[in-house]
Amino acid sequence: MEQPAPQSALEAPDLRANVLPTVSVVVLNYNGLRHLETCFDSLLSLDYPKERLELMLVDNGSSDGSLDFMREGFPTVRLVETGSNLGFAAGNNYGAERATGEYVALLNNDTRVEPDWLSELVRSLLADEERGVVCTSSLMLDWDGKTIDFYSGALNFHGFGFQPSYGLPVDAVEPQHRELLFACGGSMLIQRDVFLEVGGFDPDFFAFFEDVDLGWRLWILGHRITMTPTAITYHRHHGTASGVANHRWQVIYERNALYTLYKNYEQPNLDRILPAALLLLGQRVVRFMELGGVDFSDYDFTAPLHSSPSETPTLENVHRSAVATLLAADDFRANLHKMTPKREWLQANRKRTDEELFARFGQPGRVHLLNHETDAQYSSAHHSLLHEFGIEQLWDEVPKEVLLISPDVLPVGDIPASGSGIRAWALGRGLASRGHRVRYTMPKAALAGRERQVPSEYVRGAWTPETLQGMVDAMAPDVIVSCGWPNLTWLPRANVPVALDLTGPHLLERIYQEHLDAQANSAEKLAALERADFFTCISERQRYYFTAWLAQAGVHPDDIGSSLQVIPYSLDPDMPEHVWPEDWSSEEVRFVYGGIFLPWQNPAPALLAVASVLQEQGRGRLEVIGGKHPFHAVHTGGFGPLVDRLGTMSSVQMSGLLPHDELVKRYTHAHVAVDVMQPNAERELAFPSRTVHYMWCGLPVIHAAFSEVAEWIRDYEAGWVVPHDDPEALRQVVTSILADPQEARRRGENAARLAGERFTWDRTIEMLDRFVRDPYVRSERMRRETRQGSGVAQPDPSRNVTVATGTDGLYATSPEVARKIQLVHDRRRTLRAQVAARTMEVIRGVRGAVSAPLAGELELPELVIGHSIGQRFYSQQNGLSGVRVQVETFGRRNTSRLFLRLRHSPGATYDIYQIEIPSHNLRDGQVLTLRFPPVPDSAGRWFYFLAETPDGVPGDAISLRGVKNLEGLRAQRYDDGIPAPGYLIMSLEYNGSAR
């Protein structure tokens, strides 16, 4: 949607005073006395002709003396009083109705503007008016002009506007004059008669999203809106809205999103979207209730009863946002009759279809962020609704925001690229060729020391294991494409649809790299596969290989066929031109082998055979281009001795790894490529990128017969296929090429044809493009089970039933187990009652009762299944690297285990770090430490420490020690996620040492 406006807009129109229109600047004010001086000082400095300018202060019933101040300090400013607080929307309308200018500039009171702010807005609008532009937005920066406040306005499908560039450093974007879905209500210029004719801001909104609604409405009615980045406003953050609790604003915020979508969509789309919007609203309420401490697993019919019905506490703690959001839905319902006539008028006057406008939303499928982050449960509801209700189809022509995570260096800039980097690049470019907006990110470690050699955007956007999750959360892309599963191990909350490209088994590689713990490797791999929804692999053989893995990772066998697709290794459809000699008599036949040296590859017998033939015949040359992996610390296996031997042969020319462009140049000037490896499990499954790359450069390839690509080479006669264990056959091929090099050219041209027809990204991307166009989150139920227990996913009864023919005893629950379960339930009941009582104490305390001074020890109960003890604490320094707590064993030897977890907050559902501690060796009072790599930016942040047990039952459980008063640490203790009195005994470690 961010198209630059046509050239005309950039040409300055005639700005002679007599053709300039009259403009009224409307500044709405409600108790904003402290802002007025700065704001109006800047308005008085405007370079706009005074006689064509009306400055107005519309006062929304202030009681802070704003009006007196204005009368005294700014006598030339026209004062208009509304009499009471009409809200932002109606207050601005009130001003616009009373303004005298042909244009109205609406400006927040907590701003200041550049002197040419207004003349830039007017110039821009006048230039574009012929195209139907009636409104233009100012560029808003923060007060210091360092970061962007408003540059682009976007909207998700259920009515939540957002500002994609918000908070970015000013130099991160190159501001363009372009079209926008909506102008920022805080600083914009609009034709006054149009503003009034379309109804202005909707007064029922009061505040929030009225500018989104106005913008959308203007577009529907056939008008256009632009951004004028040369008109600059500085905005003081939270200057106006402060003073009222967030949950009160939230009622309006949530409601207005519903108003916006209700008024503006065409009927068939509204029918489809409104129920989805309402279901998502409910899912947000669920989340807010959880934040307060509701355990939804207790609402599951199949879960064991936490206590008997008569003893279950009847009240639950919910966060106020939950109530606010429900009230928003109810307010929407109660006021529907007010919205309906507005909707009917708008739809009757519609000039543009929803379909035309979806592209202007920016990212219609974006997940609404809760507290600035995504939540797994919420995200999966979001994506499943988009998919199941066919909503995503409404904008399937709108490009998607794709985040492509590369495991390796990408072929950008001046550095050597690897096969997996080129693979990632190809998928990204393939998607881009279908219109999607792809953002690439490669590992920061891969760029170490090479930052100057790649474009700065790649350096800025590079990922580290610590930052990847945050990057995804902040960007909220429509789809993630992860190249290789190891990336996903750093994404514990893969909350958006994830396509995972599996370019190789990646287990064998690990073993070759001496990550020898196969079991740990497999577990890690399965965990990563579970985080993806759609899979691509590189060859048919790998498809079979991965089928088994996907089944183990929980993909239903019926779905594997459709969710695992082959995308061959592919390259740019714009292929390089191969250079063939006109006359072979003066040309040496050049054989080539290129690529990174990897321990699971063994081309030695073949390369030695080729080199020796050339040596024997005294003609021809073998170029070996390669070296150690440029980024991963991978040893080179048998390559060392091979290089040594080849180095002694006169027919061989060695060179190190080359940047991609350089490598292509070498390949296009060579004549025959060699890729004959010794087989092993990895190689037999692989689809050698090396060979595709050769053919793409127009090189015919001598290839080993066992490989899948050998069939293509045979079919196209794109080279020669030889058995890997028949040196004689290879020698014959080399000899025949030396005798008739023209045959190499013929086969090379076939190779180029093969690459062009089968291995270019514009063609091979099809199946991935389909997923990206209508993406989905797989296995919602499976993910949910981690939270809700087994109750939601109902298995097919025919699979679950055992038709018993034998005795009852086979299935009976042993009395011992039953007793244990009962014990747990009893314990839970008392604990819950204690927790509830404590919570009430805390609430009462906060509400004004005086709490008694605390001293001495605090006895904490045994930590049993289903319960947690936690503490939120404040880190004063950077480099937080450990949390120490003290254990309470109740003076006995226990067998249960203990999980210690570090999270961002009590509401967080994932761990930053965790350890598991068996308790059988613990002594009473022993210090336990949860250690982790130092968190570099921990200073000034809160963290949450949590202890849980997977198997502790009363009588066999440990706990942590508490005190009533804790020195030297700002902290809040929690029981089961609910604030509780007292503290855990806790100290912190920084950069590996205790403080």
Partner 1 sequence: MNGNSPTTTKDGASPERTVAIVIPTHNNLRLLRECLRSVRALDYPADRLETIVVDNGSIDGTFAAVHAPQEGVRCLRVERNTGFAPACNCGAAEASAEYVAFLNDDALADPQWLNELFSALDSGGEGAVCAASRIISRDGKQIEFNGASSNLFGVGRPRSVWGWPDAPTPPGHAGPLLFASGGAMLIHRRTFLDVGGFDPNFFAYFEDVDLGWRLWVLGYRVVYAPGAVVRHIGGATGTRQPAHRRYTLWECNSLATVLKNYEGGNMQRLLSGALLLLYKRALLASGDDFDPRDYSLAGPKDTNSLNIERLPRVSVAHLAAIDRFNSLLPAFMEERRRIQSARVRSDREILPMLGRLWEPQFAGEAYTEASGQLAAALDLYNITSPALPNRVLVLAGSGDGEAQEVAGALGEGFLVALASLQPGAPHSWSRERSYIRHTLAPDAAEVHALAQQADAVVVFPSALQIGLPSDLATPVALIGSADAGRLKVAVRLDRADLEALRLFCRRPVPTPIAG
Subset of 815-834 contacting partner 1 (CB under 8 A): 818
If the CB atoms of residues 149 and 975 are measured against partner 1, the closer one turns out to be 975
CB of 40 or CB of 378, closer to partner 1: 378
**Closest-CA residue to 721 (of 738, 706, 735):** 706
Distance of closest approach, residue 336 Cβ to partner 1, in angstroms: 4
Q: Are 477 and 496 in contact, with CB atoms under 8 Å apart?
A: yes
Q: Judged by CB under 8 A, which of 381, 403, 697, 704 binds partner 1?
A: 381
Closest approach of Cβ 864 to partner 1, in Å?
Answer: 21
- Strand, coil or helix: what is 821? helix
Among positions 552, 794, 877, 905, the unique one binding partner 1 when judged by CB under 8 A = 794
Q: Is 563 in the site for partner 1 (CB under 8 A)?
A: no
Does 19 engage in binding with partner 1 (CB under 8 A)? Answer: no
Nearer to partner 1, 65 or 275 (CB): 275
Among 45, 299, 397, 470, binds partner 1 (CB under 8 A): 299
* Residues 963/985, Cβ–Cβ less than 8 Å: yes
Q: Which of 12, 244, 348, 855 binds partner 1 (CB under 8 A)?
A: 244
Q: Binding pattern to partner 1, positions 868-907, x when CB under 8 A?
A: ----------------------------------------
**CA distance linking residue 843 with residue 11, whole number of Å:** 63
If one asks whether residue 532 binds partner 1 (CB under 8 A), the answer comes out as: no
For CA atoms 333, 334, 339, 343, the dihedral sign is positive
Q: Does 800 bind partner 1 (CB under 8 A)?
A: yes
Q: Where are the alpha helices (DSSP H) in 531-603?
A: 540-552, 557-563
Lookup result for tokens 């008008």: 223
For partner 1, which is the closer residue by CB, 458 or 944? 944
Q: Are residues 92 and 202 in contact, defined by beta-carbon separation less than 8 angstroms?
A: no
Question: Least distance from C-beta 911 to partner 1, angstroms?
Answer: 23
Q: How far is the CB of 449 from partner 1 (least distance, A)?
A: 48
Cβ count near 594 (within 10 Å): 23
Binding mask 189-228 for partner 1 (x = CB under 8 A): -----------------x----------------------
Structure tokens at 425: 């690049």
Between 193 and 271, whose beta carbon lies closer to partner 1? 271
Is residue 557 within the footprint of partner 1 (CB under 8 A)?
Answer: no
For 391, list phi and psi in degrees, rounded to 5: -75, -40
* Piece of the chain touching partner 1 by CB under 8 A; list 69-77, 285-293, 357-365, 590-598: 285-293
Cβ proximity to partner 1, 305 vs 994, nearer residue: 305
Any contact of residue 285 with partner 1 (CB under 8 A)? yes
> Is 278 a residue that touches partner 1 (CB under 8 A)?
yes
CB-nearer residue toward partner 1: 348 or 804: 804
For residue 624, give every residue at least 6 positions away whose Cβ sits within 8 Å of its Cβ, in sequence order, or none.
Answer: 592, 593, 594, 607, 643, 646, 652, 653, 654, 655
Contacts of residue 112, defined as CB under 8 A and 6 or more positions apart, other chains included, come to: 38, 39, 41, 42, 233, 234
Residue 977: φ, ψ to 5°: 80, 5
Find the shortest distance in angstroms from Cβ 251 to partner 1. 5
Question: CB of 257: closest distance to partner 1 in angstroms?
Answer: 14
3-state secondary structure of 215: helix
Q: Is 345 in the site for partner 1 (CB under 8 A)?
A: no
Return phi, psi of residue 477, to 5°. Answer: -70, 165
Query: Would you count residue 798 as binding partner 1 (CB under 8 A)?
Result: yes
Stretch that binds partner 1, among 327-335, 453-461, 560-568, 872-880 (CB under 8 A): 327-335
Question: Is 958 strand, coil or helix?
Answer: coil
940-979 residues near partner 1, rule: CB under 8 A = 979
503/304 Cα distance (integer angstroms)? 44
Give the range of 2-10, 384-392, 442-450, 549-557 binding partner 1 by CB under 8 A. Answer: 384-392
Q: What is the 3-state secondary structure (H, E, C) of 440-468?
A: EECEHHHHCCCHHHCCHHHHHCCECCCCH
Q: Which of 143, 162, 166, 249 binds partner 1 (CB under 8 A)?
A: 249
| Sole binder of partner 1 in the list 123, 223, 784, 903 (CB under 8 A) | 784
**Pick from 991, 935, 943: nearest CA to 464:** 935
- Could you give the string, one character per residue 47-86, with x where binding to partner 1 holds by CB under 8 A and - elsewhere? ----------------------------------------
Tell which one of 248, 515, 746, 819 touches partner 1 (CB under 8 A).
248
**Which of the residues 839 through 858 are near partner 1 (CB under 8 A)?**
839, 842-843, 846-848
Is residue 321 at the binding interface for partner 1, with CB under 8 A as the rule?
A: yes
Tokens of 465: 């294991």
943 sits in which H/E element? strand 941-948
Residue 73, SS3 per DSSP? helix
Q: Which of 309, 557, 856, 891 binds partner 1 (CB under 8 A)?
A: 309
Ranges within 742-781 binding partner 1 (CB under 8 A)? 780-781
- 388, amino acid identity: E
Q: Provide the minimum distance between the beta carbon of 188 and partner 1 in the complex, in angstroms, as a whole number.
A: 24
Residue 315 interacts with partner 1 (CB under 8 A)? yes
- Please tell me the distance from the alpha carbon of residue 212 to that of residue 157, in angstroms, as a whole number: 12
Separation between Cα atoms, residue 225 and residue 217, nearest integer Å = 11
Which of 560/939 has CB closer to partner 1? 560
Q: How far is the CB of 851 from partner 1 (least distance, A)?
A: 14
Among 18, 19, 242, 337, binds partner 1 (CB under 8 A): 337
Measure Cα distances from 71 to 18, 26, 79, 833 in Å.
Answer: 30, 16, 8, 61
Alpha carbon of 116 to those of 112, 128, 228, 229, 579: distances in Å?
12, 18, 12, 12, 58
346 binds partner 1 (CB under 8 A): no
Least separation in angstroms between CB 842 and partner 1 = 7
Half-sphere exposure of 157 (CA within 13 A, CB side): 34
Q: Which of 199, 282, 637, 789 binds partner 1 (CB under 8 A)?
A: 282
Counting contacts by CB under 8 A, is residue 917 touching partner 1? no
Structural contact between residues 135 and 223, judged by C-beta atoms closer than 8 angstroms: yes
Q: Which of 811, 812, 384, 748 is nearest to 590 (CA)?
A: 748
Q: What are phi and psi of 119, to 5 degrees?
A: -65, -30
Does residue number 252 form part of the binding site for partner 1 (CB under 8 A)? yes
Sign of CA dihedral 447, 450, 453, 457: positive
| 294, 475, 500, 571: which one binds partner 1 (CB under 8 A) | 294
Q: How far is the CB of 482 from partner 1 (least distance, A)?
A: 23
Q: Which range in 249-257, 363-371, 683-691, 740-748 contacts partner 1 by CB under 8 A?
A: 249-257
Residue 673: its H or E element: strand 672-675
Q: How far is CA 348 from CA 205, 220, 342, 647, in A?
A: 22, 10, 10, 81
Selected from 37, 142, 300, 749, the binder of partner 1 by CB under 8 A is 300
